[in-house]
Amino acid sequence: MFADVQPREGITCLILIGNIFLILAAFYLVKPVREGWLAVTDIAGFTKLEIKAYSAFAQSIILFGILPIYARLAAKWTRRDLILRVGGTFAVILVAFWLTQPGLLLGNIPALGIFFYLFVGIFSVTLVAQFWAFSTDVYGSERGARLFPVVAIGAALGSTVGSWIGEKLVRHPSVEAFDLILFALIPLGLALLLATITDRRGTYGDPSTWTSVRWEQPAAPSDKGPFRMILQHRYLTATAAMIMVFTWVVTSGDNILFSIVQESFAKDFSEFLGDPDAFDVAMKEATTAFYGDLYFWINLMTLLLQSFVVSRILSFGGMKALLYATPFISLAVYASMVFMPLLGLIKVMKVAENSSTYSIHNTARQMLWLPTTKAMLYQAKPTIDTLFVRLGDGMAALTILIGTRVFSLGNTGFVVINIFLVILWITISRYLQREHGRWTRTAANPEPRPSGA
């Protein structure tokens, strides 16, 4: 129903679905704590929106220092040790933040709220990147191409269920908001356990040399370092550029949508302008309702697309269709903002863009790594999936800053910028599609199928 799962592949596939489900559930338990801590964090001269936007630059600077260290560890540790030790370190840091929450052992120290915001951003992208590197290592190119669409269903379910559980927990009278950090340790620990089981099983539960030799090898048998590796291979350079531009487009689009929503509601509630308190209440309630409904439809459509559409797009159109689907949807979104700026239509189009991003394009991004080497998986991939994602967020923030304060651009001006960025995104995707085919033809052979399978 969901993908081409062949005999004896089901158990490992289910374990990997559970693994990414638990990782995303842990993140979405921690995410509201991040927002809540930021809400009580005040820094003179900065708004909350500016703090959130500029944190992308701070995360990029931190990642520049952390990622070479991570790469050196990947060149020394086995993949199992790397996953367990990185995940365990994150768990210890989460406990440390819980202990330093405002009002427990310390007062409200603004720096801690900022540090937690930065940590959660790095926590999420690092664990997800590490999971997909591990899954690629386990499956190889051929099986990954068939099974990644169904494995990614776990990510869609994890984000939805994690958000739902978090909402239910904070409504319980005995649970404080910051306690979600401790609850997140449960799925995180289970995810590490499932990774260990997968490492031993391999694809079929009857490990061949393809699996067993990886038990003792370093995760990334290379000490080149991530930045040098990315610059040496045009395929990796193009992948990094595509992910940065894609993130830039989507983040800028979310910022544009927020601005359009605020302008639209301000007109709707113009009769309250003489009563600032009533105006603020109306704006807050309308915005909350709008985004609550928006996120519901995005999550639902993401799950449906990932479950029933992605594997079929791949079957009928191949990697080319996966890479092109989301940017052409984005092009339609921003064209509609220029020619038909109706909030209802824009909302529908943004649901289409974001759900496609989290399902179709996310699968394409992971499949780009299937024909690469082990060293690239554990050194270049975490770097690209963390640093270049945050650089894309940072470029979106810089676009807003310069466009607003230097050029006094309105929403239409930012939409036009996004259209040009989407065209650049499509151009890079075209190159990647050709290179992916070339790399796939020279990829290592996957684990042989056991007799009788």
User: Angle, to 10 degrees, between the axis of helix 234-268 and the axis of helix 310-339?
Assistant: 50
* Burial of residue 250, with CB atoms counted within 10 A of its CB: 0-12 exposed, 13-18 middle, 19 or more buried: buried
Q: Quickly state the pLDDT bin for 230 (edges 50, 70, 90).
A: very high
Q: What percentage of the chain has pLDDT greater than the value 70?
A: 91
3 near 445, Cβ under 8 Å? no
Q: Closest Cα partner for 121 from 204, 40, 31?
A: 31
CATH topology of domain 10-441: Growth Hormone; Chain: A; (1.20.1250)
Residue 405, pLDDT score:
80
393 near 302, Cβ under 8 Å? no
Q: What is the mean pLDDT of the chain?
A: 87
Cα distance between residue 134 and residue 139, in whole Å: 9
Of 89-93, 216-220, 369-373, which one has max mean pLDDT? 89-93
Q: Quickly state the pLDDT bin for 118 (edges 50, 70, 90).
A: confident
The average pLDDT across 114-128 equals 88
Residue 49, pLDDT score:
54
Tokens of 443: 């990829």
User: Hunting for tokens 């995940």 — which residue is that?
Assistant: 87
Cα distance between residue 417 and residue 403, in whole Å: 10
Tokens of 349: 């189009």
Cα distance between residue 113 and residue 101, in whole Å: 8
Angle at 23 between CA 106 and CA 113, to 5 degrees: 25
Q: What percentage of the chain has pLDDT greater than the value 90?
A: 47
User: Residue ranges per domain, the chain?
Assistant: 10-441
- Which of 197-211, 294-308, 311-325 shows the lowest per-residue confidence on average (mean pLDDT)? 197-211
Q: Quickly state the pLDDT bin for 48 (edges 50, 70, 90).
A: low
Q: Which residues of 201-222 are buried (b: 16+ CB within 10 A; e: fewer)?
A: bbbbeebeebbeebeeebbbeb
Strand, coil or helix: what is 42? coil
Structure confidence by residue, pLDDT tens digits, 393-451: 889 888 888 888 888 888 889 999 999 999 999 999 999 999 999 998 877 655 666 65
Backbone angles phi, psi at 106, to 5 degrees: -130, 170
- Which of 100-109, 312-321, 345-354 shows the lowest per-residue confidence on average (mean pLDDT)? 100-109
- Which of 11-25, 42-56, 251-265 shows the lowest per-residue confidence on average (mean pLDDT)? 42-56
pTM above 0.95, yes or no: no
Bridge partner list, 78: 218
75 near 376, Cβ under 8 Å? no
Strand, coil or helix: what is 176? coil
